[in-house]
Amino acid sequence: MQSILDVRELEVAYKTQDGVVCALNDVDLVLHEGETLGLVGETGAGKTTLAKGIMRLIPSPPGIVKKGEILYRGKNLLQLGDDEMREIRGREISMIFQDPMTSLNPVMTVGEQIAEAVLAHGELPKQEVIQKTKQMLELVGIPPERSDEYPHQFSGGMKQRVIIAIALTCNPKILIADEPTTALDVTIQAQVLELMRELRKRLNTSMLLITHDLGVVAQNCDYVAIIYAGEIVEYGTVMEIFKDMRHPYTIGLFTSLPSLNKAVRRLIPIEGLMPDPMYLPKGCKFSERCKHAMDICREEHPKMSRVGGEHKVRCFLHQGQVPSEAENGR
Ligand code: SF4
């Protein structure tokens, strides 16, 4: 299948007064045309940095993209000028931020805010802007006559729908949704995700869905990437990961859930803490928490290796270097 976004060996760091924070280390990621990729990991693993990196929204300073490529339809976004990137942002790649409730301007009507997004990429006659604004509201299930109301007159779920309408206004090819439903209650979450699923199919938008909720991944994604301490540690189709997870961290994430069929699907933290990104361990980043850690894990850094189909894992247990241990590790 054709890729629309291809992140290669991306490395991002933040320079702080106390030292250099390694936020992303050698991240490789592929998003296929029309598909949804779930990016799963704990808080601080690098999910939002990756999303902002793709949008070229990492503040510099303190952020620095140390190396890598972000190929959108073969074009390296890291080499584009600011004007070209502004054109791509919103029109080609759109993002819904982690806290959508604060993304709306309280002193503008929702109609004005959608119209602003419509006009951000070119002048249009007033009548067309009004028409497009109403269409977008209808698309996300809000009666167009509410276009003159202010954000405070909307419920949380409705505000989130407005945010989605703004993000989809220019019919972007890629939508990056960073924890889009975390602030909503469970029923509304389900409705908003259902709406996003439906719109994505209808508009054939590819989506990078950032979440720490495996239930959301199971219901919405085609592919999954598990991120830990700024590295992708496992990648594959939803089926490959859910049926045959290999990395001890991924296994920890799944086994720490009471049951995938129960309503509570938040990740329960695995014993221990993610390493301080300023002082990452030399070998495998998960070695301090891994019950299968071997000497090699503390000394050498494992590479991603294919274990079948599109399934890849970053772990010495699955690199054929220590086959007998590999048996023990499963
Ligand atoms: Fe555990 Fe070693 Fe695999 Fe890292 S490489 S996850 S420490 S077994």
**Residue 285: its pLDDT value, please?**
96
Note whether 133 and 165 are within 8 A (CB).
Answer: no
User: How far does the centroid of ligand 1 lie from the alpha carbon of residue 269, in Å?
Assistant: 18
Ligand 1 neighbours by CB, cut-off 6 Å = 247-248, 284, 286-287, 290, 292-294, 297, 302, 315-317
Q: What is the largest CA-CA distance in the chain?
A: 70
**Residue 121: its pLDDT value, please?**
72
**Residue 322: its pLDDT value, please?**
43
> Cβ atoms within 10 A of the Cβ of 260, count?
11
**Residue 291: its pLDDT value, please?**
92
In the sheet that holds 36-40, the strands lie side by side as 93-96, 174-178, 206-211, 36-40, 223-228, 231-237, 311-313, 305-308
Q: Which two tokens stand for residue 232?
A: 């992708």
Counting from 1 in the atom list of ligand 1, the atom nearest the Cα of 247 is 6
**Residue 259: its pLDDT value, please?**
53
**Residue 328: its pLDDT value, please?**
40
**Residue 268: its pLDDT value, please?**
58
Ligand 1 atom 5: the closest Cα is on which residue? Answer: 315
Counting from 1 in the atom list of ligand 1, the atom nearest the Cα of 287 is 7
Question: What are φ and ψ of residue 79, in 5° steps?
Answer: -105, 0
> Cβ atoms within 10 A of the Cβ of 113, count?
22
**Per-position pLDDT tens, the chain of length 330:** 789 999 999 999 999 998 999 999 999 999 999 999 999 998 889 999 999 999 999 998 899 999 999 999 999 999 999 999 998 998 899 998 777 677 899 999 999 999 999 898 778 889 999 999 999 999 999 999 999 999 999 998 899 899 999 999 888 999 999 988 877 788 888 888 888 898 888 889 999 999 988 888 999 999 999 999 999 999 999 999 999 999 999 999 887 765 545 555 555 568 888 999 899 999 999 999 999 999 999 999 999 999 999 999 999 999 864 444 444 433
**Residue 102: its pLDDT value, please?**
79
Strand-pair partners of 29: 7
Note whether 304 and 28 are within 8 A (CB).
Answer: yes
Counting from 1 in the atom list of ligand 1, the atom nearest the Cα of 325 is 8
**Residue 191: its pLDDT value, please?**
86
User: How far does the centroid of ligand 1 lie from the alpha carbon of residue 301, in Å?
Assistant: 9
